[in-house]
Amino acid sequence: MLLLDPGAAQVLSLDGTIPDLLDEYALEDPATFLAQHLFTPWRAAHPQREPLGSCVGYRRPLFLGGTDAVENLEVVDEEVYWSVHGQLWAKVKDLPDGTPVSGVDIS
């Protein structure tokens, strides 16, 4: 089983099934697995639930120098988030670390 993180452009290989994922990984290390360092302050500042089909994601992905902070989060259409981050990652994944990236405009 693979766990995909579009904001960090990471693919984590996990042993098991979906129930294993929820029962083992999430329960063994919820602070990391559920990004509790982001979720708790985000939910305090945004108590309303996100609309169906949306997600809370990074404005600037971590792989493009974004910060792992609440200030870098926004509610975005889930399909758009995955699509845009996938396209961005495909363009930059083979660049050496530290390569400046410019000219990205998402509107």
**What is the span of the domain harbouring residue 83?**
2-92
Which distant-in-sequence residues (6+ apart) come within 8 Å of 33 by Cβ? 25, 26
Choose between 30 and 44: higher pLDDT: 44
Q: Is 57 contained in some domain?
A: yes
Asked if the structure places residue 36 within a domain, the reply is: yes
Q: Average pLDDT for residues 5-11, to the nearest whole number?
A: 71
E-strand spans in 22-106? Answer: 54-58, 73-77
In a domain, 99, yes or no: no
Is residue 97 in some structural domain? no
Q: Is residue 32 a part of any domain in this protein?
A: yes
Quick check: is 22 in a domain? yes
To the nearest 10°, the Cα dihedral for 74, 53, 13, 67? 0
Kindly report, residue by residue over 48-88, the tens digit of the pLDDT: 999 999 999 999 998 888 999 999 999 999 999 989 988 88
73: in domain: yes
> How many angstroms separate the Cα of 66 from the Cα of each of 3, 11, 36, 70, 72?
20, 18, 18, 11, 7
Look-up of token digits 């670390």 = 97
**How many structural domains are present in the chain?**
1
Structure tokens at 9: 């452009």
Q: 41: Cβ–Cβ under 8 A, 6 or more apart, which residues?
A: 70
Enclosing H/E stretch for 84 = helix 78-92
Answer yes or no: is 104 within a domain. no
